[in-house]
Amino acid sequence: MGESSGGGVLPTPESTSIEVMAHLKAGKCTTVELIGHYLRVLETTGRDLGAAVEVHSDSALAAAQESDARRASGKPLGKLEGVPFTAKMNISTAEGTTDAASGMLRGFKANEDSTAVARLRAEGAILVGKSNCDEFAMGASNESSHHGVVHNPWDRDRVPGGSSGGAAALAGSFGWAFHLGSDTGGSIRQPAAFCGATGLKPTWGRVSRRGLVAFGSSLDQIGPLTRDARDAQLVLSVMEGGDPLDATSQDFDSVKTPTETSAETISMKRIGLVSEGLTDAIDPEIRQRALEVTEQLKNMGHEVVEVSLSTLSKANACYQVIATAEASSNLARFDGIHTGQRVESEDLEELYSKSRRQGFGAEVRRRIMLGTFVLSSGYIDAYYGKAQQVRHEIRQEILSALDTVDSLMMPVSPFAPFKIGERVSDPLALYACDILTVTANLAGVPAVAIPCGFDSGGLPIGLQWMGKHGDDHRLLDLATSLQDQDDAWRGLPPGGSQ
């Protein structure tokens, strides 16, 4: 990278968070130098991509100074000491705004860190800003944010995926930092795949949702978007575990530190290649890549078998019903009375409808209406009730499949990143982005997406692996062993950084 203004030598741009920590430990640069430069990356590349919507320079530099002081005085250092990170706009942070990329919450200050952010900071990680996303995390292209669209760093005319599009564009374009996203139906994995980043959706309940602006509570999980699986594992190990302020959170076993990661022993020996993930509906280049990686896994000593998930075709419809139902209720609190922008009116009914019509964007309104409909008297059994039934079937099928194999493998997205604006007016085409990702959310199981090369157009291809509840670290071990085979993932897009 070259010298920083303070005279220290900065890490190379593609360096992972773990490599950055080693760099700082070796005294090659100070944390203030590192953070100072990363803030400039956010201000330039991050802003240019539309990915960074807030840069918290003052608080980040103050934290960096404290970190340097800790290091200088020999005080104990955190597991993520000095590492910069961003939080998605729907994750509460003490500084800045948490507007979920919605005009409804314009200027909303949470004033308190979410549990995940607080745990990361307690281990020395430094919050540097907030990332763009789809409004209330509803979308797969990051085109519904009131902060504007995000551009894919590999092709700026294309979408970065969504809803954690900002986090993915940042992770895909520059190293050092990690980025917190949230995944309700693929919102971490799909943008990670589109932008060439690693993304983990943890087991539901593994990471506290406290401080996450809720979309579909039974599906939502906060997770990391990083350069590689080792970083994801470290970040997860810091933020995971039961939280007294989230009754649905819990501890899971197999917490590992990344230094212990595999390579010696094969994690997840038996891999199930999901045949429904390789149908004609999936881009042939992506299918081809999946088969090549399968061969690679075999060479590494894995057994790969084909597994059929007959429920996969029902998953997206099921997801749309459950996610919108929960969203319609979760977003009711933005009523203009207590929370959310108010449009004044003499009449209460009118105040509600005007505030909500003006505050919410079109996609959010569409989902609220859908969700309200599927829960309505006369329809609830046919839609929500049926979807709950199907969800149960999906869960059963996944769990019984995971009795025969350790992990289920699929592409993340059925197609490559598409052009900005290409699908924005066609909700069904956008919902199709989720067909391979929603299953993990519906079943509550962990899934990791890693970059696995590029298509002929030079666009990243991502593949994902699902595991049993609580198998997050084993999945990350598997991902690490794959990433150790081939470091193509290290490459940054041309012009992605300054």
- Give least dist CB 6 to another protein, A: 37
Residue number, 198 or 355, with CB nearest to another protein: 355
343 binds another protein (CB under 8 A): no
- Give least dist CB 95 to another protein, A: 15
Structure tokens that stand for 71 in this block: 């290091």
Q: What is the CA radius of gyration of the chain?
A: 21
Per-residue contact track with another protein, 289 to 328, x per CB under 8 A?
A: ------------------------------------xx-x
Angle formed at CA 290 by CA 421 and CA 293, multiple of 5 degrees: 135
394 binds another protein (CB under 8 A): no
Active-site hit among 163, 164, 249, 267: 163
Instruction: Considering only the stretches 98-106, 122-130, 144-152, 418-426, report the one whose residues sit in contact with another protein under the rule CB under 8 A.
Output: 98-106
Per-residue contact track with another protein, 155 to 194, x per CB under 8 A?
A: ----------------------------------------
209 binds another protein (CB under 8 A): yes
Q: Does residue 308 have an active-site annotation?
A: no
In Å, the largest CA–CA distance within the chain is: 71
369 binds another protein (CB under 8 A): no
Instruction: Considering only the stretches 50-58, 108-116, 416-424, 450-458, report the one whose residues sit in contact with another protein under the rule CB under 8 A.
Output: 108-116
105 binds another protein (CB under 8 A): yes
Please state, in angstroms and rounded to a whole number, the distance separating the CA atoms of residues 191 and 167: 8
Query: Coil, helix or strand for 261?
Result: coil
Please state, in angstroms and rounded to a whole number, the distance separating the CA atoms of residues 83 and 11: 12
Please state, in angstroms and rounded to a whole number, the distance separating the CA atoms of residues 412 and 142: 17
125 binds another protein (CB under 8 A): no
245 binds another protein (CB under 8 A): yes
Q: Does residue 187 have an active-site annotation?
A: yes
Instruction: Considering only the stretches 225-233, 242-250, 259-267, 459-467, report the one whose residues sit in contact with another protein under the rule CB under 8 A.
Output: 242-250
The CA-atom distances, in angstroms, between 368 and each of 5, 42, 316, 321, 435 are 50, 33, 17, 11, 21
CA quadruple 300, 281, 429, 377: dihedral sign: negative
Active-site hit among 15, 187, 262, 407: 187
**Ordered DSSP codes for 33-68:** HHHHHHHHHIIIIIHHTT-EEEE-HHHHHHHHHHHH
Instruction: Please count the residues of this chain forming the interface with another protein, following the rule CB under 8 A.
Output: 42
Per-residue contact track with another protein, 57 to 96, x per CB under 8 A?
A: -----------------------------------x----
Please state, in angstroms and rounded to a whole number, the distance separating the CA atoms of residues 31 and 34: 5
Instruction: Considering only the stretches 46-54, 76-84, 211-219, 445-453, report the one whose residues sit in contact with another protein under the rule CB under 8 A.
Output: 211-219
214 binds another protein (CB under 8 A): yes
Please state, in angstroms and rounded to a whole number, the distance separating the CA atoms of residues 260 and 279: 37
Residue type, 45: T
Please state, in angstroms and rounded to a whole number, the distance separating the CA atoms of residues 69 and 114: 26
Give 3-state DSSP helix, strand, coil % of the chain, rounded to 5.
40, 15, 45
352 binds another protein (CB under 8 A): yes
Which residues touch 309 (CB under 8 Å, ≥6 apart)? 274, 275, 276, 397, 398, 401, 408, 439
Active-site hit among 15, 67, 88, 145: 88
**Ordered DSSP codes for 264-290:** SSPSS-EEEEEGGGGSTTS-HHHHHHH
Among 125, 212, 290, 409, binds another protein (CB under 8 A): 212
384 binds another protein (CB under 8 A): yes
Residue number, 104 or 271, with CB nearest to another protein: 104
Residue number, 248 or 404, with CB nearest to another protein: 248
Residue number, 153 or 361, with CB nearest to another protein: 361
- Residues annotated as catalytic are 88, 163, 187
**What is the contact surface with another protein in residues (CB under 8 A)?**
92, 98, 100, 105, 108, 110, 112, 114, 209-214, 216-218, 244-248, 325-326, 328-329, 331-335, 337-339, 348, 352, 372, 375-377, 380, 384
